[in-house]
């Protein structure tokens, strides 16, 4: 029995129509992953492999369906790279098919070991976080993590993830610090930053205007378009 099940909300066609009428650019996906106690509109995770100085680390996060606040759901730490990938496979299997579609991390460093452990029925897919190619990526991620944890604008809850909490408490912000020496801080900040920028729990509104071909159709089209624009002005 998978830990999370998909719970549907409303009708996608109706949600799209309402969003168009009131002039929204996006609307929330009409489903959430629920485990009975919590509902998450998106669940993902990230990982870094161990080095000679640092253990490898894996974290899973869920975005609360109502508040869009990111919650730490699970963490794992090991000095064995194979165990990091095995933990990701176990979590994917426990959570259920389709719950975690991708993990965030460095594909160049991760894919060699991931390919060794991957299974056809439960593959681990790695994507690079947003802005990871920038030379100041670590500064962006630490700033995002600091803001997300601040009481004035809290968008990230550590909850019971003690290992992550200890890493954050022991981290001393330094302008000369690099992501290689702070991999846990880097991946945690990268996940929060990527989620806040891409907002994968939202769907874009797409509208395609039909081009009328006859005078009668054109008259009807013009009338309907005027009504839609009036509704948009009223409800917006």
Indicate the pTM of the whole model: 0.78
Residues 128 and 227 grouped into a single domain: no
For 158-175, the pLDDT digits (tens) are 999 999 999 999 887 655
Rounded mean pLDDT of 38-48?
95
Residue 117's pLDDT is 87
Band (pLDDT 50/70/90 cuts) for residue 39 is: very high
What are the angstrom distances between the C-alpha of 164 and each of 25, 221, 224?
35, 57, 55
For the ranges 118-122, 142-146, 225-229, 230-234, which has the lowest average pLDDT?
230-234
Domain range for 181: 5-205
Residues 109 and 226 grouped into a single domain: no
158 vs 55: CA distance, rounded Å: 19
Residues 182 and 230 grouped into a single domain: no
Residue 121's pLDDT is 85
For 55-97, the pLDDT digits (tens) are 999 999 999 998 999 999 999 999 999 999 999 999 999 999 9
Q: How many domains does the chain have?
A: 2
Residues 129 and 229 grouped into a single domain: no
100 vs 216: CA distance, rounded Å: 50
**101 vs 174, higher pLDDT:** 101
Burial label for 205, CB within 10 Å (0-12, 13-18, 19+), is middle
Helix (H) or strand (E) holding 138: helix 137-149
Question: pLDDT > 70: what percent of the chain?
Answer: 80
Phi, psi of 216, rounded to the nearest 5 degrees? -65, -45
Residues 108 and 224 grouped into a single domain: no
Residues 110 and 74 grouped into a single domain: yes
For the ranges 25-39, 129-143, 216-230, which has the lowest average pLDDT?
216-230
Residues 189 and 218 grouped into a single domain: no
**118 vs 86, higher pLDDT:** 86
Residues 183 and 214 grouped into a single domain: no
Residues 149 and 201 grouped into a single domain: yes
Residues 26 and 54 grouped into a single domain: yes
């Amino acid at each position: 029995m998978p830990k999370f099940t998909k719970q549907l909300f409303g009708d996608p066609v109706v949600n799209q129509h309402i969003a168009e009428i009131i002039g929204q650019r996006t609307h929330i996906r009409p489903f959430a992953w629920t485990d009975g106690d919590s509902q998450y509109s998106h669940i993902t995770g990230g990982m870094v492999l161990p080095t000679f100085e640092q253990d490898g680390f894996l974290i899973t996060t869920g975005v609360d369906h109502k508040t869009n606040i990111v919650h730490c759901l699970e963490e794992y730490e090991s000095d064995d790279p194979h165990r990091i990938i095995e933990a990701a496979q176990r979590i994917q299997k426990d959570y259920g098919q389709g719950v975690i579609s991708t993990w965030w991390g460095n594909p160049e460093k991760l894919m060699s070991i991931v390919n060794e452990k991957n299974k056809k029925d439960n593959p681990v897919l790695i994507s690079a976080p947003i802005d990871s190619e920038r030379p100041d990526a670590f500064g962006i991620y630490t700033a995002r993590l600091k803001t997300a944890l601040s009481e004035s604008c809290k968008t990230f809850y550590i909850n019971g993830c003690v290992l992550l909490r200890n890493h954050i408490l022991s981290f001393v912000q330094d302008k000369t610090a690099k992501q290689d020496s702070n991999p846990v801080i880097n991946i945690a900040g990268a996940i929060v930053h990527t989620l806040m920028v891409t907002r994968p729990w939202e769907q874009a509104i797409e509208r395609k205007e039909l081009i009328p071909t006859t005078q009668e159709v054109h008259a009807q089209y013009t009338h309907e378009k005027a009504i839609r624009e009036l509704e948009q002005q009223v409800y917006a």
